[in-house]
Structure 1
Amino acid sequence: MKKPMSAATWGTSLAILLSIIQAPTSQAAPTLAQVQAQVIRYEEEATAAAEGAQEAKVKLNSLTRSLAGIQAQAEIQAKTVDAISKTLGAIAIDQYKSGTISQSLELLFSSDPSLYLSSAGSLEAITRQKGIQLRKFQSAEQQLNATSLTVSDRLAQVKALQKKLAEKSALATAKLAQAESVLAKLKKEDRERLARLAQEREDADQASSLKAARSAAGVSGRAGLAIKFAFKQIGDKYVFGADGMIYWDCSGLTMRAYQTAGVSLPHSSAAQSRMGKSIPFSQKKPGDLMFFGRPVSHVGIYLGGGKMVHAPRSGSRVKVATTDMGRKRLVAIRRF
């Protein structure tokens, strides 16, 4: 006959059973394909953030130029106010602002009416001239006040854009750091294998892109010149904020490509998407710019046949690729 289990033994057995039940299920390590997909996603997010920084930079440059012009205007207006002020004299301005009785009325009600009669003509002329000058002073002062308010408003906008630029730039850097962190967790041989696979993929893309460029023909005008320029950059590496002639980002490439065709574009995909002529998706032609993402964060040059030439993302090169950007949807087409 078996002896009943002691309380101590029972407690130990229960603890072991509970530890088995409550132990977390171990997760299988991600495959290299999954790691690669994760790294690419972080690189794409970094690229989107970098384009956001480019948009902020374009707006900031435009606003800074506008601010400089307004500040120069304010300086001119301040000198005008000062000049009129000196002409009038402090007493006349104080009288105008306080609304005190005019000199001619003071004379009219004085104890010596003959003084008014003898001086009325000259006083009227002086008063009229002073009135004109005072109205000029008031107008100039109002203009200066309005301009000063505009300057203050522009300064606030500049500060906000500087903050946005810093935030977007930091986000782009952080996303690349996340990609590096994912790779750092791999074994050395796995990192080397992924790097080799990425290199092989980029080399294959470059070879097919050069073949596509050689076979492309028949596009004339500005569109043809832009495409021809972009084709010459195939194989160049993507770098945040770069606009040639060795490194490119997406909007830097399209900006320079159309610059060779005599079209001036800003270095920002979002800013470019607001320029040119809007084209229905069904009517796109080679040379049209295709914009992706909401908000817009990527741009490429359409080639026809569902292909475009673009600078895709960090870690990649300028290439000919399909217009399918996966999660980043086509949102606009513009013609220049």
Structure 2
Amino acid sequence: MRPIQRCVTFLLTFVLTMGILPTSFGAPNADIAAVKAQIEQLQDDAAAAGENALAAKIQLAKLKKQLASVQQDAANQQKTLEQARASLAAIAIARYKSTGLGEGMELLFSSNPTLYLSAAGSLESVTRKQSIQLRKYATAKQRLDATSLTVNDKLALVQAAEARYRKQAAQVKEKLAAAEKLLAKLEKADRERLLKLQAMDAEERQKYSLEQAKLANAVSGRAGTALRYAVKQIGDRYVWGAAGPIRWDCSGLTMRAYEQAGVRLPHSSRAQYGYGRSIAIAEFGSSFGRKKYVGARRL
């Protein structure tokens, strides 16, 4: 069962019933069919922008997670670097204390050459340790430098993703505002005619949806669980970006329905499209058509 690829909301009835339309000033002889087509196109555009926004939101979440991971790596590597630096400092102090006069002078003035030669052996060991610590320090420094560059790169990607999300979310509002403006230009009689057409479409779609919902009881397994959950929400209010329990968008409803069946999906129809088995359009049968919500901003 394939998740819904894209859904579009009818804004018309919601706008009219909320009474936010100003007094008409526009076209009393407007072609209602043409206006309806323009409104639907704006709604399609808003839905596309909404999908882009949700996809950008998911990408943003992933990038933030990656950024947090590399920032933690950088913090750990900084600790390793500090430890290597401290070890080098301790070795340097120890060597300075043991070779302050120079090796040749210490041998010349030593009252116990045997003891000095033993100390010289220890000095050689200190030198080896210093060499090892120097290599560790250099390696830690290189890793930290590389990770710091990665942090900067990820931060730039996060900022770009945030900008894309804001842009797409703004386009959703812009397209819906344009649809409202178009409606506001209609005379009252024309708006009522358009509302009547909308109501007829909504009634037809609602009736069809309820008839199809009866088939959910015949579906078994996890698919049936997801389907039955989804059809119970028929009539709930549509809100872009919502994921229940009483307000939904398409991908939000799909996500929650599949969740009931133990399948975790992202909140994006575009991302959901990458899950499951692909089905050819021809296999959908008569149930496949133009993707719309049942009016009054309801599913």
Task: Give the structure-2-normalised TM-score.
Answer: 0.77
- Equivalent residues, number: 261
Deviation at 1:228, TM superposition (A): 1.0
1:185 matched residue in structure 2: 185
CA separation of 1:175/1:315 partners in 2, compared to 1, >3 Å: closer, same or farther?
farther
What is the Cα-based RMSD across aligned positions, in Å? 3.1
Deviation at 1:83, TM superposition (A): 2.1
1:87 deviation in Å? 2.1
Residue aligning to 1:149:
149
Q: Distance in 2 between matches of 1:174 and 1:66?
A: 32
Higher helix share: 2
Asked whether the equivalents of residues 202 and 317 of structure 1 are also in contact (C-alpha less than 8 Å), the reply is no
Mapped partners of 2:183, 2:149: distance in 1: 52
Closer, same or farther: CA 282–179 of 1 in aligned 2, 3 Å: closer
Structure 2 counterpart of 1:305? 285
Displacement of 1:241 in angstroms is 0.5
Match of 2:280 in 1: 281
Aligned letter for 1:312? K
Match of 1:230 in 2: 230
Within-5 A mapping of 1:116-195:
118=117, 119-195=119-195
Secondary structure of 1:265's counterpart equals: coil
In 2, distance between residues paired with 1:237 and 1:310?
Answer: 20
Q: State the alpha-carbon separation in 2 of the partners of residues 255 and 311 from structure 1.
A: 18
Q: Which residue of 1 aligns with 2:256?
A: 256
Q: How far does the alpha carbon of each residue in 1:287-336 deviate from its partner, in whole angstroms, 9 at most, with x for none? A: xxxxxxxxxxxxxxxxx533269983596432xxxxxxxxxxxxxxxxxx
Q: Deviations over 1:38-73 (max 9, x none)?
A: 111101110110111001011111211221122122
What is the identity, as a one-letter code, of the residue corresponding to 2:192?
A: E
Query: Are the aligned partners of 2:28 and 2:186 in contact in 1 as well (CA < 8 Å)?
Result: no
1:296 corresponds in structure 2 to: none
Structure 2: segments with no counterpart, 5+ residues = 1-26
1:83 aligns with 2:83: yes
- Report the 3-state secondary structure (helix = DSSP H, G, I; strand = E; otherwise coil) of the residue aligned with 2:52: helix
Higher relative contact order (CA 8 A, sep 6+): 2
Indicate the structure with greater strand content: 1
C-alpha spacing 1:307/1:283, structure 2 compared with 1 (3 Å): closer
Q: TM-score by structure 1 length?
A: 0.69
Between the aligned partners of 1:233 and 1:311, the Cα distance in structure 2 is 17
Which residue type is aligned with residue 68 of structure 1?
A
Q: How does 1:1-336 map to 2 (within 5 A)?
A: 29-89=29-89, 118=117, 119-277=119-277, 279-281=278-280, 305-307=285-287, 312=292, 316-318=297-299
Q: Is contact 1:239-1:247 (8 Å) kept?
A: yes
Quote how far apart the aligned CAs of 1:193 are. 2.7
> Partners of 1:280 and 1:197 in 2: how far apart?
33
- Aligned partners of 2:208 and 2:268: how far apart in 1? 28
What is the distance in 2 between the residues matched to 1:198 and 1:184?
16
Deviation at 1:195?
2.2
Contact 1:43–1:315 under 8 Å retained in 2: no
- Confirm or deny: 8 A CA contact 1:238 1:312 kept in the other structure: no
SS of the residue corresponding to residue 89 of structure 1 reads: helix
How many angstroms apart in 2 are the aligned matches of 1:310 and 1:239? 19
Q: 1:43 to 1:76 in 2, by over 3 A?
A: same
Distance in 1 (alpha carbons) for counterparts of 2:49 and 2:296? 15
Letter in 2 for 1:186: L
Supply the distance in 2 between the matched residues of 1:190 and 1:245 (Cα, whole angstroms): 36
One-letter amino acid matched to 1:127: T
Instruction: State the alpha-carbon separation in 1 of the partners of residues 88 and 282 from structure 2.
Output: 67
Letter of the 1:59 counterpart: Q
- Shift of residue 30 of structure 1? 3.6
State the 1:227 CA deviation.
1.1
- CA deviation map 1:122-155 (0-9, x unaligned): 1210011111212211121112111111110110
Classify the secondary structure of the residue corresponding to 2:218: coil
Query: Which residue identity is paired with 2:121?
Result: G
State the Cα distance separating 1:200 from its structure 2 match: 3.1
In structure 1, the gaps of 5 or more residues are 1-26, 94-102, 285-303, 319-336
After superposing the two structures, state which structure 1 stretch, 213-222 or 157-166, moved more: 213-222
1:248-286 CA-partner distances (Å, limit 9, x unpaired)? 111111111111110000001121122334x351795xx
Q: Distance in 1 between matches of 2:296 and 2:42?
A: 11
Which protein has the larger Cα radius of gyration, Structure 1 or Structure 2?
A: 1
CA contact (8 A) 1:60 1:161 kept: yes
* Structure-2 change in CA distance of 1:123 and 1:90 (3 Å): closer
